[in-house]
Amino acid sequence: MDFAPDQRTQDLTARAREFIAGHVLPAEPELEQELAAGKEFWGAPPVIHDLRARARDAGLWNLFLPGEHGAGLSQLQYAPVAELTGYSPQLAPVAMNCAAPDSGNMEILNEFGTAAQQEEWLHPLLEARIRSAFCMTEPGVASSDASQIRTRIQRDGGDWVITGRKWWSTGAMSPDARLLIVMGVTDPEAPRHRQQSMVLVPRDAPGVQIVRPLTVFGYDDRDHGGHAEIAFDEVRVPADAILQGPGEGFAIAQARLGPGRIHHCMRALGMAERALDLVRERASARSTFGRKLADQGVLREWGAEARIQIEALRLLVLKTAWLMDTVGNRAAMTEIQAIKIAVPRAVQAVLDRAIQVFGAAGVSSDVPLAALWAGSRALRLADGPDEVHLSSLGRAEFRRPPVL
Amino acid sequence: MDFAPDQRTQDLTARAREFIAGHVLPAEPELEQELAAGKEFWGAPPVIHDLRARARDAGLWNLFLPGEHGAGLSQLQYAPVAELTGYSPQLAPVAMNCAAPDSGNMEILNEFGTAAQQEEWLHPLLEARIRSAFCMTEPGVASSDASQIRTRIQRDGGDWVITGRKWWSTGAMSPDARLLIVMGVTDPEAPRHRQQSMVLVPRDAPGVQIVRPLTVFGYDDRDHGGHAEIAFDEVRVPADAILQGPGEGFAIAQARLGPGRIHHCMRALGMAERALDLVRERASARSTFGRKLADQGVLREWGAEARIQIEALRLLVLKTAWLMDTVGNRAAMTEIQAIKIAVPRAVQAVLDRAIQVFGAAGVSSDVPLAALWAGSRALRLADGPDEVHLSSLGRAEFRRPPVL
Amino acid sequence: MDFAPDQRTQDLTARAREFIAGHVLPAEPELEQELAAGKEFWGAPPVIHDLRARARDAGLWNLFLPGEHGAGLSQLQYAPVAELTGYSPQLAPVAMNCAAPDSGNMEILNEFGTAAQQEEWLHPLLEARIRSAFCMTEPGVASSDASQIRTRIQRDGGDWVITGRKWWSTGAMSPDARLLIVMGVTDPEAPRHRQQSMVLVPRDAPGVQIVRPLTVFGYDDRDHGGHAEIAFDEVRVPADAILQGPGEGFAIAQARLGPGRIHHCMRALGMAERALDLVRERASARSTFGRKLADQGVLREWGAEARIQIEALRLLVLKTAWLMDTVGNRAAMTEIQAIKIAVPRAVQAVLDRAIQVFGAAGVSSDVPLAALWAGSRALRLADGPDEVHLSSLGRAEFRRPPVL
Amino acid sequence: MDFAPDQRTQDLTARAREFIAGHVLPAEPELEQELAAGKEFWGAPPVIHDLRARARDAGLWNLFLPGEHGAGLSQLQYAPVAELTGYSPQLAPVAMNCAAPDSGNMEILNEFGTAAQQEEWLHPLLEARIRSAFCMTEPGVASSDASQIRTRIQRDGGDWVITGRKWWSTGAMSPDARLLIVMGVTDPEAPRHRQQSMVLVPRDAPGVQIVRPLTVFGYDDRDHGGHAEIAFDEVRVPADAILQGPGEGFAIAQARLGPGRIHHCMRALGMAERALDLVRERASARSTFGRKLADQGVLREWGAEARIQIEALRLLVLKTAWLMDTVGNRAAMTEIQAIKIAVPRAVQAVLDRAIQVFGAAGVSSDVPLAALWAGSRALRLADGPDEVHLSSLGRAEFRRPPVL
């Protein structure tokens, strides 16, 4: 057992740290201004383009992606870099082309796409020429249960015809999101996990209607293309727009989930560290009732508790990454579920308390805490609410063999 | 000791219930539409006017205000009605002319205003012809410590001249908020709690600049006139625009705090009940993994915990109201502080869990939970963060005489 | 609604306060010594006798019992007195003849006993000439489900013949416990809640075997007669030893539960106040790292939280008492369940933290905190674990009508 | 970074598992009987001797001790074995001669003792021919602050003369505890951390008086020699009975603390796993209200939460062990403090909930949970209460450099 990161990890971490501290954080106010100026605009704010160029130059590009198309990092190597991007989650991941949902979409195109599909969609995504959305969750349905999907994908001659309604399609409000990866039912008579398929749908295909944006605690997340409700009304795509083939949808979705979840957790840890940095600075600068905040017992106790939680959960994330690298995503399922539950919750608690330290400013847009909070809160619902995962994890716990 | 509400309380509660169920809740979607239609508009949405008329007809008007100008209710009698208004906090309180910050402003005008001041400002407020804002909190200052106020109110001939900057002036974005009650320092040499005074400032006075709206977790609260940052640059008001006289500001602010806090708590309890009603309905209608939500152990346990918390804290609120009625606001200070800490926190926890039950819809604007959550979250910072109150309450606890 | 206690309550509370402060607390070290001296002895320590005489003189006797046999107090009137007895739960309740399980046993003899049964058992109990035990819980059975009882009570000629095994029969290790009230099955074919009956069994009846004492976290509770496991091997009692008649056992047990639970809660609140008194004294006397404990933020925050919890839950207990007095025990079931869950847990948390304040002394027998803790911990299991009650309360919550 | 244990660790773990499952657990009832039979006896129960012989044969002996005198394991290698011993903490550690306080005492004799001191005390301890106690904590003093020690160790001719009072000297009730390592003040004028020294005192030296045993939540822990209060009244030891020399006491104590704390944490994790094994077995065997416990949502959720906590904290313990091995105990101080706070608390919570699952049996001695609970509870006070460590950890947190 060895807790020291390897050389490549150390190098990349140092480079990412330099890039984010030197370029990303200083660009945050610029982003604010651009967003304030363009209230009706959902595309990428201009500041992104400059950051992307710098990230590519620094070799901080597509790091999330294993294999030849990406940087070839293991999950364990990617972890500390991904964590640092969480420090500025509106800018850093997208600047380094590692932002959800594109990263997950690139993963499945990389793993499951044909050469032609990769040529058409993966390559532009890898170069950030376009963006994409993932259309799985549906209104009125328990999204934690993939088998409840109602969108139909039916064969009609040489086409697939898609009809249904999706929501929480993150990024899809942006016109840059040229590609929608849509999950739907191709064969309702097939076994439970062989009914679904995934098709690649251009956002401008006839019959695709972007219905409305959704908000997360009042935030529209327009810098990332928001979260769309989308109606598909007899949308036609050619036969070869299907990923892998009919009935493969559920398996592809599962393959996407593991990395997606752990990457969310990594970034969430960075969000917590950002909060702790902000609190540390304020607590050293500010006094109430004649005592520096940093010297007040209640705040110290909180700082200690936050540190313990973050350290312990980071190790759990790293061990999960190591398991994914060594025994595979499926065998690491229990651990992925554990961090998916524990990390967002702990990070949310850190952010909540940090907000208290900042007083009323904490809930406003003057400090990033409230927005970070909303992001971490949403993670407790993404891919199914905590409760579903706790129940599943608990079932596994009661099926373990005894220690002795 | 007797836990039964008196007849007048029962009558008013029944009437409020009928009004809110019959008119307010059905008007909620209308409010949504009006707000969506007028994104740049900060005034009262049209739906309010109709509701106000109905509330007046039903005798549900100015119930918060004791004495002849108001309905003459005790805090204990007002409590269950106020709680019901929390069920729909965007509409019900304002419809019944019981909404903060106007209610608190009317209280101090009622208690401390001259006949002329009442004629000019209280009467229009009592009839909801105008609205008002309370300008106390300042940027860059620990707002829990009134003695840190930096805004200056200086005498210049027959005028008071106000210079300073305020923020979180709720309602002040709306042009209907004709009156700003401004706290500032008139005598920096006076004893700590005799330095401040309050003046009545027309929002359209020269030198008043509405700088910007602030957001609470992504919400701008435009239906209530938002939360403004306001600059006062040598704003002049006549000598008789002062409340009570120089040095009385702190005492007036204190007098305003007690009722303000308990009314927030009452409404917050109604917010929790709203959440429980919503959850109950969904839990009975919806199944996951083959079991009705209402039959799942984890949800049941949560429902039980929520009920216990709400019941116990409601009693604490009621006892505090009774103390305010019988021994006065000052003697009830400890209890007011206790509910100010405990109620918003508990309500927020109920709302958080209710959001989980609603899944992704819970964080959106499709159900009222996320907005209610943000409202209750902000209460943990209003009038000073919980931590300040806990410390003060703890000091009192360690100074109590022993029980035996 | 009125939160002021009536005159009789005030008088009794004052008298109880005087008695406990003046006689009970000073007797605590004496009890310690007597217990240390007689390690094999399970009867009442001598100090009890003197205290009983004083309590009777002070009119503090059988206060728990409504009606002519007792003091005729309502639950609401008894509440603050019972709370004070919790301040010294080893001595005060037994000194005032209000200790469990005798109080519950007297209640059912009072309500359900024949004149002869009352003559034989109730009168000596009311005069504390004897003590008693309640034999319901059985080993290997979910004691929260009365219908799982396996002890058989069979008719044989003019006798009832009892065979079975009971445990957690509190008090039964003491030879003073002359009476055992035993629940068992008389008719396994009857409807679920008509199968059980209760019989009055002399502890010295042939076939009664006191198997062993049980411990609660290392405590044997010998001052109260401990907790016994008892085997009944064809124990014979005459036909008229049955309470009410065959099939009435479940109903009698239910009638006993309501008062039993609320009285436990009342005393538990007194235990918390004792802890707070102890902490207050130590926190004012002791400094660490140069600061008085009472001035340290973390301790203050804890004191505040403890106070809020205790105040809120006390009100819930009082309201429950009022409901029992006004609408009856059955209609107050939900509230009884709520306090049964919430109070012991909160009190336990207060005690746990108080122990931290006392350091290693806190877990020893040098301060009463560890023993009080064990007592409150056991309450979370008495009459069924919290989890069972939470589930039942949650079911009720999801069946309530909506508020609006 | 690599989470796989090395070969030696795997081998030892397998052997320890076999020994504990095959010999220790089956010996537990024997221990119970021996303790019940000899209520006045504080020495090692006979069952220990047989287990020790088997442990030595299996090469499971003195594993805690680095260097030539011990097994030469790193902390990281020792960790999983130590965890397994926590599964049966009354028997396994003592059987393998790895039990506190002897292990810590052997560590300091090994590191700081002269050859003669080692000959006299370390060798018999390494062979378990004698046991020992550590006399540091004093009554009436904040034991978290070593500089408050009042025991005096004064030079008188060729002797050291010790006068003072100690308590919580674990093991010292046993006559086998031949050696007392006593901390006292040799020079009250020296700098704060140079005032104390440690001397080796035979338990049977004139002037040593074992005053009384202390209890932990009613447990006397007689199988481990209990916890003694000891008076030292002009106890004389020769000049060479001092460890290292005058003024070295504080440094030696500090050196002892790091390993002591992490070993406690390792064993505590094993206690939690024991609880989970017990719950798993019961939950699969038992039903309430018609559903197997293991299938009930509330229990599943708890099982999941427990698993997450234990996994995350185990990793934090392992990383701390790795830091101790690689950068030294002093540099690992923050992490040692973190686990010292977090692990006992989490383990205690697991045990508390496990007790609920076992109902009333859970608080008795019929299952080991209540005793394990008391052990973990005491850890929250050992070497200073959590609050002291939280404050210190919080101070460190606010002095860290920012991440970015």
The chains found to touch A (3+ Cβ pairs under 8 angstroms) are: B, C, D
The predicted structure's pLDDT at residue C188: 95
Checking ipTM against 0.85, whether it exceeds it is yes
- Identify all chain D residues contacting B297, using CB atoms and an 8 Å cutoff: 296-299
Cβ contact (<8 Å) for C308 and B316? yes
D230 and D277 assigned to the same domain: no
Dump pLDDT digits (tens) for B314-327: 999 999 999 999 99
Q: Does D301 touch chain B (CB under 8 A)?
A: yes
Q: Cβ contact (<8 Å) for B381 and A356? A: yes
Mean pLDDT, to the nearest integer, of D201-212? 98
Q: How confident is the model at residue B148 (pLDDT cuts 50, 70, 90)?
A: confident
Query: Does B1 map to a domain?
Result: no
CATH code of B91's domain: 1.10.540.10
Q: Give the end of a domain, one of A126, A158, A185.
A: A126
Question: What CATH number did the domain enclosing C319 receive?
Answer: 1.20.140.10
Q: Domain range holding D202?
A: 131-245
Tell whether omega for the bond before D101 is within 30 degrees of 0, i.e. cis: yes
Q: What is the count of residue pairs from A and B with beta carbons less than 8 Å apart?
A: 119
Backbone dihedral angles phi then psi of residue B164, each to the nearest 5 degrees: 165, -170
Residues of A within 8 A of C297 (CB-CB) are 296-299
Q: Does B301 touch chain D (CB under 8 A)?
A: yes
- Rounded to a whole number, what is the distance in Å from the CA of C375 to chain D's nearest CA? 11
CA dist B337 and C301 (Å) reads 13
Interval D324-353: pLDDT, tens = 999 999 999 999 999 999 999 999 999 999
Question: CATH code at A190?
Answer: 2.40.110.10
Listed by number, the residues of chain C in 363-382 with a beta carbon closer than 8 Å to a beta carbon of chain B are: none
Average pLDDT over all residues of chain B: 96
Q: Residue C44 has what pLDDT?
A: 87
The yes-or-no verdict on residue C13 having pLDDT over 80 is yes
Rounded Cα distance between D370 and B233, Å, is 68
Residues 103-142 of D with CB under 8 A from A: none
Out of A294, A342, A391, whose CB is closest to D300?
A: A391
> What's the mean per-residue pLDDT of chain A?
96
Interchain CB contact of D298 with B (< 8 Å): yes
Cis link prior to C238 (omega < 30° from 0)?
no
| D303-333 b/e (C-beta count within 10 Å ≥ 16 → b) | bbbbbbbbbbbbbbbbbbbbbbbeeebeebb
* Residue D277, min C-alpha distance to chain C (Å): 19
Q: C217 and C145, same structural domain? A: yes
D146 shares a domain with D241? yes
Nearest CB neighbour to A395, from listed D9, D300, D398: D300
Residue that is last in its domain, among A245, A266, A298: A245
* D95 and D158, same domain (yes or no): no
Tell whether C348 is within 8 A of chain D (Cβ): no
Distance CA C266, CA C93 (A): 12
A121/A141 same-domain check: no
Distance from CA of A75 to the nearest CA of D (A): 11
**CB-nearest partner of B356 from A370, A382, A387:** A387
CB of B298 within 8 Å of any CB in chain D?
Answer: yes
- Which neighbouring-strand residues pair with A161? A154, A236
Percentage with pLDDT > 70 across chain C: 100
Cα B344 to Cα B314, C32, C78, distances in angstroms: 12, 45, 33
Query: Min CA distance, A190 vs chain C (Å)?
Result: 37
pLDDT of D291 higher than 90: no
pLDDT for the residue C140: 86
The reply to whether B310 and B338 lie within a common domain is yes
Amino acid at B394: G
Q: Is A73 on the interface with D (CB under 8 A)?
A: no
Could you say which DSSP state residue B402 is in? P
In this structure, the answer to whether residues D387 and D259 fall within a common structural domain is yes
**CA of B140 vs chain A CAs: smallest distance (Å):** 9
Q: Is residue D110's pLDDT more than 90?
A: yes
- The chain B residue lying nearest C19, using CA atoms, is B404
Closest residue by Cα to residue A149 from A250, A19, A35, A25 = A250
- Confirm or reject contact between B391 and chain C (CB < 8 A): yes
| Chain B contact for D295 (CB, 8 A cutoff) | no
Residue with tokens 């002399």: C202
Q: What CA dihedral angle connects B182, B187, B190 and B192, to 10 degrees?
A: 30
Restricting to A residues 316-335, those with a Cβ less than 8 Å away from any Cβ of D are: 316, 318-319, 322-323, 326, 335
Mean pLDDT of D289-318: 95
B237 vs chain C: nearest CA distance in angstroms? 43
Residue A101: cis peptide before it, omega within 30 degrees of 0:
yes
Lowest mean pLDDT among B233-237, C69-73, D180-184, D212-216: C69-73
Of B137, B374, B382, the CB nearest to A217: B374
**What pLDDT was estimated at residue D114?**
98
Quote the CA–CA distance of B401 and C17 in Å, as a whole number.
14
- Shared domain for C167 and C67, answered yes or no, is no
Query: A404 in contact with D at a CB cutoff of 8 Å?
Result: yes
Is the pLDDT at B288 greater than 90? The verdict is no
Nearest C-alpha in A relative to B376:
A363
Residues C235 and C274 in one domain: no
Q: CB contact, 8 Å: B143 with chain A?
A: yes
**Does residue A255 belong to any structural domain of this protein?**
yes
Which chains does chain D touch, 3 or more C-beta pairs < 8 A? A, B, C
pLDDT for position B44: 87
Is residue A282 domain-shared with residue A395, that is, in the same domain? yes
Model pLDDT for residues A99-143, shown as the tens digit of each residue: 999 999 999 999 999 999 999 999 999 999 999 999 999 998 876
| Separation between Cα atoms, residue B24 and residue B370, nearest integer Å | 19
pLDDT at position C173 over 90: yes
Confidence of residue C67 (pLDDT cuts 50, 70, 90): confident
pLDDT-based confidence at residue C145 (cuts at 50, 70, 90): confident
pLDDT at B143 over 80: no
- Residue-level pLDDT at A148: 85
Of the listed ranges A299-308, A331-340, C290-299, the least confidently predicted one is C290-299
> Which residue among B20, B303, B400 sits closest to C280, beta carbon to beta carbon?
B400
Banded model confidence at residue A289, pLDDT cuts 50, 70, 90 = confident
pLDDT on residue C142: 78
Q: What is the pLDDT of residue B142?
A: 78
Q: What is the pLDDT of residues C243-294, one digit of tens each?
A: 999 999 999 999 999 999 999 999 999 999 999 999 999 999 988 878 899 9
Across residues B46-71, what is the average pLDDT?
A: 95
Q: How many CB atoms are closer than 10 A to CB A306?
A: 24
User: Is D381 within 8 Å of C390 when comparing Cβ atoms?
Assistant: no
Looking at the structure, do residues A173 and A254 belong to the same domain, yes or no?
Answer: no
Residue D321 lies in a domain: yes
D2 located within any domain:
no
- Asked if D356 lies within 8 A of C387 by C-beta distance, the reply is yes
Asked if residue D388 and residue D274 are part of one domain, the reply reads yes
Assigned domain for D213 exists:
yes
Task: Find the helix or strand (DSSP H, E) in which A342 lies.
Answer: helix A333-358
Q: Which of C205, C222, C246 is the last residue of a domain?
A: C246
Helix, strand, or coil (residue B30): helix
Average pLDDT over residues B102-117: 97
Min Cα distance C398 → chain B (Å) is 6
B390 vs A298: CB contact, 8 Å cut-off? yes
Question: What is the per-residue pLDDT across B349-375, written as a single tens digit (0 to 9) for each?
Answer: 999 999 999 999 999 999 999 999 999
CA dihedral D79, D371, D44, D69 (to 10 degrees): 10
Shortest Cα distance from A71 to chain B (angstroms)? Answer: 33
Residue with tokens 């900042």: A358
Say if residue D41's pLDDT is above 90: no
Q: Do B301 and D298 touch (CB under 8 A)?
A: yes
Interface chains of chain B (3 or more CB pairs under 8 Å)? A, C, D
> Is residue A363 in some structural domain?
yes
Q: Is B400 within 8 Å of chain C by CB?
A: yes
Task: Tell me how far apart the alpha carbons of residues B157 and B126 are, in angstroms, rounded to a whole number.
Answer: 33
Q: Between chains, do D356 and C219 touch, taking CB under 8 Å as contact?
A: no
A380 vs B142: CB contact, 8 Å cut-off?
Answer: no
Quick check: D217 and D352 in contact, CB under 8 A?
Answer: no
Query: Is A151 contained in some domain?
Result: yes
Summarised one tens digit per residue, pLDDT across range A352-362 is: 999 999 999 99
Average model confidence (pLDDT) across chain C:
96
CA distance C316 to chain B (A): 5
Range B99-125 average pLDDT: 98
Residue C234 domain-assigned? yes
Q: How many domains does chain C have?
A: 3
With CA atoms as reference, the chain B residue closest to D301 would be B298
**Cβ of B26: how many Cβ atoms within 10 Å?**
10
Interchain contact, C294 vs B398, CB within 8 Å:
yes
**pLDDT (mean) for B185-190:** 96
Min Cα distance A204 → chain D (Å) is: 41
pLDDT at A39 over 80: no
Interface of B with A in 212-241 (CB under 8 A): 214-220
